[in-house]
Chain A
Amino acid sequence: MSTTPVLEVKHLVKHFPLTSRGILMKKQVGVVHAVDDISFTVNKGETFGLVGESGCGKTSTARAILYLDPPTSGEIYFEGKEVGEVFKSKDKEAILHLRQKIQYVFQNPYASLDPRMTVADIIMEPLVIHAHVPKEKWHDRLYELLRLVGLEEYHAERYPHEFSGGQRQRICIARALAVEPDLLIADEPVASLDVSVRAQILNLLQELQNKFKITYLYISHDLSTVRHICHRVAVMYLGKFVEIAETDDLFETPLHPYTQALLSSIPIPDPDAKTKRIMLPGEVPSPINPPAGCRFEPRCVLGKEHKCVHAAPELIDVGGGHFVACEGAQKR
């Protein structure tokens, strides 16, 4: 694996305004702090995992990177170019090029395929839009893609409702790969699939990465699939990163108290496994009004110090590419 960065995110912030409906005008009554100042780089050919519970800002991050929801502030560099500038320049060709190189696989394959299009139309649509392949080769490309994701040629004329969840996700992956992307954002690609089918899709993603050297940004709340597929992982809590590390490092020596609790609460398929479960008290606070200091402070099991309540901890390198945003954890 090389260390050329494909994607660099610097101080990304995404706030959603919260409005109340007045008689004439909307009034802004607050903001949802979906993503609050996160920075990370994804290197070429690696799978970078973004982990966290629902509402922590994983999907908001991904959508901000693609400019589906433009970020409130911060910079996103894709292959050296600032994504925001490209979109603001209104240069259609540059935007199209960017959209071609970053592709997205959505969480729910039941909602992300147009029910009125055949599989052939769905997979060829990106070819029509980006037109990087001559027209007479579209059908060859279609069949090549179908074979690549483990579908048959006769599936091309069918409609999405004729397929199972796993097959639909294969179609989504084929559609994303049609334009030869460099970065594939996979947003919970296996969350809605059954266990036996989940393994098929995870293996497919790995095979495709080995074959085409695609970089993945893999978003999930399921730590066991993350452990399986990712090279590096960032753990998110309430819009902020609490820990970034190599996968093995993170799973073997988690430093942040939230990561520790998260890992300990995964049920292990082994009746004899004796793990000490760290029970987190309470629930995730509202992102409209997050805690002022460390966002994890109200649920933290470590000793509460004065500074935890007042100052947000910075991500600090503790060696070997392992970053953690907790002063108490660094001391140990």
Chain B
Amino acid sequence: MANELLRIENLKTYFYTWAGVVKAVDGVSLKINEGETLGLVGESGSGKSVTALSILGIVPIPGKIIGGKILYRGENLLDKKENEMQKIRGKEIAYIFQDPATSLNPVFNIASQLVEVIRQHQNVTKREALEKAIELLRVVEIPDPEVKIWNYPHQLSGGMKQRMAVARALSCQPNLLLADEPTTALDVTIQAQILDLLKNLKQKLGMAMVLITHDMGVVAGVADRITVLYAGRVCESASTRTIFYNPMHPYTRALLEAVPSLALRREKLKVIPGAIPNLIEPPSGCRFHPRCEYAKEGVCTLKVPELEELEPDHYVACVRAQEIEAKSPLRNESK
């Protein structure tokens, strides 16, 4: 279980736009063990998707990976040539995009889209590939797969399309699945179905998964470990239980408190003041300091906090994490 599958060290992906350099990912480090689900949590613009796209080397123009290492089973993916990466994409590491309506090709039927991926990576005939594809649809619990496989994406509902996307991602039995907000575009009851499916498949196939989401509720039920991103940097990284019951970074705490709870009805929600910073000129020092209630002039405004292991397997990037711990309002509330 503890075998390391992927390790990202100090990844920097910048976008060179006419307005300036957008530091979308600026020194992200994380690791994923084999068979583990990592929840990558953050608000929009925090660098979740760009991190995942960087792993596969498909950062869109004008983006560029300008530094860091992405070690997959000890090999740095950033040193690989394009034709070597093509053997990894889809086969070793697969990707599920946020919006199933745009990630499937509208002019090809499902069969040809699945067969294409299977034949790209496996030495099989068309007929065998088609049989495999039908089998895959059965795995993702699509009713009458023999009929549905000849459908075009527009003939399917959102939930069905996302199941097709999952089937395509799983077609070559990847070791790592990058699921980028796989349920954001879906309704709650369908979201529950897809999350359940991903959880079961992960167990059955023993693959590792990175689940990218902004919904703390989604990761709570699925992830083993959570990494919280803010403005292109890692805030906190720990096991799911630790993140929820013993968060040490002020941003993680604020994020947990800002979510309206179903069980508890509070008169007023706790608010994180301000908005997400502009990443062309991010705040000096800690990027969260303008919105942080614990920020200290001359400390947080100047020093860029490093990710430190404050407890075993609990990494926090906050200079004052240990000072403010006693004042945490969440401590009393949690079990």
- Which residues of chain B come closer than 8 Å to A279, judged between CB atoms? 192-193, 196
Q: Are A202 and B216 also in contact (CB < 8 A) when A164-B276, A283-B159 are?
A: no
Across-interface contacts of B266 in A (CB, < 8 A): 228
Say yes or no: is B254 at the interface (Cβ < 8 Å to chain A).
Answer: yes
A266→B254 contact, CB < 8 A: no
In chain A, what residue has the closest Cβ to B275?
A: A164
User: Per-position contact with A for B165-191: 1 when CB-CB < 8 Å, else 0?
Assistant: 000000000000000000000011111
Q: Which of A206, A247, A261, A265 contacts B191 (CB 8 A)?
A: A265
Whether the Cβ atoms of B192 and A271 lie closer than 8 Å is: no
- Which residues of chain B come closer than 8 Å to A277, judged between CB atoms? 192, 196
Question: Do A280 and B189 touch across chains, with their CB atoms under 8 A apart?
Answer: yes
A274 CB to closest chain B CB (Å) equals 10
B275 surroundings in chain A (CB, below 8 A)? 164, 166-167, 197
- Choose among B159, B160, B240, B262 the residue that contacts A268 (Cβ–Cβ < 8 A): B262
What band does the interface of chain A fall in when counting residues whose beta carbon is under 8 Å from B? Answer: 35 or more
A269 at the A/B interface (Cβ < 8 Å)? yes
Task: Indicate whether A202 sits within 8 Å of B269 (C-beta atoms), given known contacts A195-B43, A223-B262, A228-B260.
Answer: yes
Question: Which of A196, A248, A270 is in CB contact (< 8 Å) with B244?
Answer: A270
A54 within 8 A of B: yes
Contacts of A261 in B (CB 8 A): 189
Given contacts A194-B214, A197-B275, contact A269 B43 (CB under 8 A): no
* Complexed CA–CA distance, A224 and B262 (Å): 5
Instruction: Provide the bound-state CA to CA distance between A330 and B116, in Å.
Output: 53
Q: A224-B261, A262-B189 are in contact. Are A269 and B269 (CB under 8 A)?
A: no
Q: Which of B106-121 contact A (CB under 8 A)?
A: none
Q: Please state if B220 and A269 are interface contacts (CB–CB under 8 Å).
A: yes
The interface residues of chain A lying within 8 Å CB-to-CB of B259 are 195, 199, 224, 269
Q: Quick check: is B21 within 8 A (CB to CB) of the other chain?
A: no
Can you list 26 A-B pairs, Cβ within 8 angstroms, ordered by A?
A: A53-B188, A166-B275, A194-B276, A195-B215, A195-B255, A196-B272, A197-B275, A199-B260, A199-B271, A200-B271, A202-B260, A223-B188, A224-B260, A224-B262, A228-B260, A262-B188, A262-B189, A264-B192, A265-B192, A267-B215, A267-B218, A267-B220, A271-B241, A271-B244, A273-B220, A283-B190
Q: What 1/0 mask marks residues of chain A from 214 to 256 whose CB sits below 8 Å from any chain B CB?
A: 0000000101110110000000000000000001100100000
Beta-carbon contact of B276 and A283 below 8 Å:
no
Closest to A225 in B: B260
Binary contact track A181-211/B, C-beta < 8 Å → 1, others 0: 0000000000000111111101100100000
Cβ–Cβ contact A228 & B188, under 8 A: no
Q: A224-B261, A227-B265, A266-B217 are in contact. Are A203 and B271 (CB under 8 A)?
A: yes
Q: A261-B189, A267-B221, A283-B157 are in contact. List 6 more A-B contacts (CB 8 A).
A: A54-B187, A164-B275, A199-B271, A247-B265, A263-B262, A271-B240
The count of chain B contact residues (Cβ–Cβ below 8 Å) is 44
Chain A: CB-nearest residue to B251: A196
Residue A272 interfacial (CB < 8 Å): yes
Say if the beta carbon of B335 comes within 8 Å of chain A: yes
Give min CB distance, A288 to chain B, whole Å: 14
A284 to B160 Cα, complex, angstroms: 12
Nearest residue, chain A, Cβ from B224: A271
9 closest A-B pairs by beta carbon, nearest first, are A267-B217, A265-B192, A269-B216, A228-B260, A199-B269, A196-B272, A53-B187, A194-B43, A199-B258
User: Which B residues have a C-beta under 8 Å from some C-beta of A?
Assistant: 43-44, 157, 159-160, 187-193, 195-196, 214-218, 220-221, 240-241, 244, 254-256, 258-263, 265-266, 268-273, 275-276, 335
Tell me if B262 and A265 are in contact (CB < 8 A): no
B residues within 8 A CB of A225?
Answer: 260
Whole-angstrom CA separation of A225 from B260 in the bound complex: 6
List the B side residues contacting A197 at CB < 8 Å: 275
Q: List B contacts of A271 (CB < 8 A).
A: 220-221, 240-241, 244
What residues of A have a CB within 8 angstroms of the CB of B192 in the complex?
A: 264-265, 267, 277, 279
Q: Can you name the residue of chain B whose Cβ is closest to the Cβ of A286? A: B157
Chain A residues, CB < 8 A from B43: 194-196
> Which residues of B sit under 8 angstroms from A199, Cβ to Cβ?
258-260, 269-272
B254: chain A residues at CB < 8 Å are 196
Decide: A228 near B196, CB < 8 A? Known: A54-B187, A262-B188.
no
Residues of B within 8 A of A267 (CB): 191-192, 195, 215, 217-218, 220-221
Give the distance in Å from the alpha carbon of A265 to the alpha carbon of B276 in the complex. 30
Which chain A residues lie closer than 8 Å to B214 at the CB level?
Answer: 194-195
Assuming the A-B contacts A197-B275, A228-B265, are A269 and B188 also in contact, with contact meaning beta carbons closer than 8 angstroms in the complex? Answer: no
CB-based contact B220/A195 at 8 Å: no
Residues of B within 8 A of A269 (CB): 216-217, 220, 244, 256, 259, 261
CA distance A263 to B36 in the complex (A): 28
